Amino acid sequence: MTELTDSSLDALFAQARDAAPLPSGDLMARVLADAEGVIATREAEEIARIKDRQPKQRHPVLAAMVAALGGWRAVAGLATAGVAGLAIGLGAPMTVTTLATGGYADSDASYETTSYEATSYDAGESGYALDDLVPSFYDLASEG
């Protein structure tokens, strides 16, 4: 039994191509209906998204608190002050202590005994040394 030649096979392919099934009107309608459905859902989503983007109502209690403190600007200032206080407390307890207690009281005594040059360089007119005013991170390191 011999095989079919290439040319007759090609002719067969061509015939098959011509005899390709045509989609029924029903299928076309279903496909189009699907497309419409997809567009409709997408438009609905789009509308929902646009609605979503309008400013949201805040929780009434939170809104009242912010209003009582003087609006969001005041709340921002408070927050900044709070963070700064935390940073000072963490970063420079020694400085704070020196400023608050010993430094200034001691300065009168030392002013008399040290030479004029030394005081003018090291402590200026006040009793503070320069390092007293610079935040120190030693404490953080040593305590940890």
Q: Does 15 bind other proteins (CB under 8 A)?
A: yes
CA distances from 68 to 25, 64, 100 (A): 68, 6, 34
Task: Give long-range contacts, CB 8 A cutoff, 24+ apart: 100-109.
Answer: 103/127, 103/128, 103/129, 103/132, 104/128
Q: In the stretch 71-110, what mask flags binding to other proteins with x, by CB under 8 A?
A: ----------------------------------------
38 vs 140, beta carbon nearer other proteins: 38
Q: Does 32 bind other proteins (CB under 8 A)?
A: yes
Min CB(44)–other proteins separation in Å = 10
Task: Decide if residue 48 touches other proteins (CB under 8 A).
Answer: no
Residue 58 backbone zone (phi > 0: left; psi -120 to 50: alpha; other: beta): beta
With binding defined as CB under 8 A, does residue 4 bind other proteins? yes
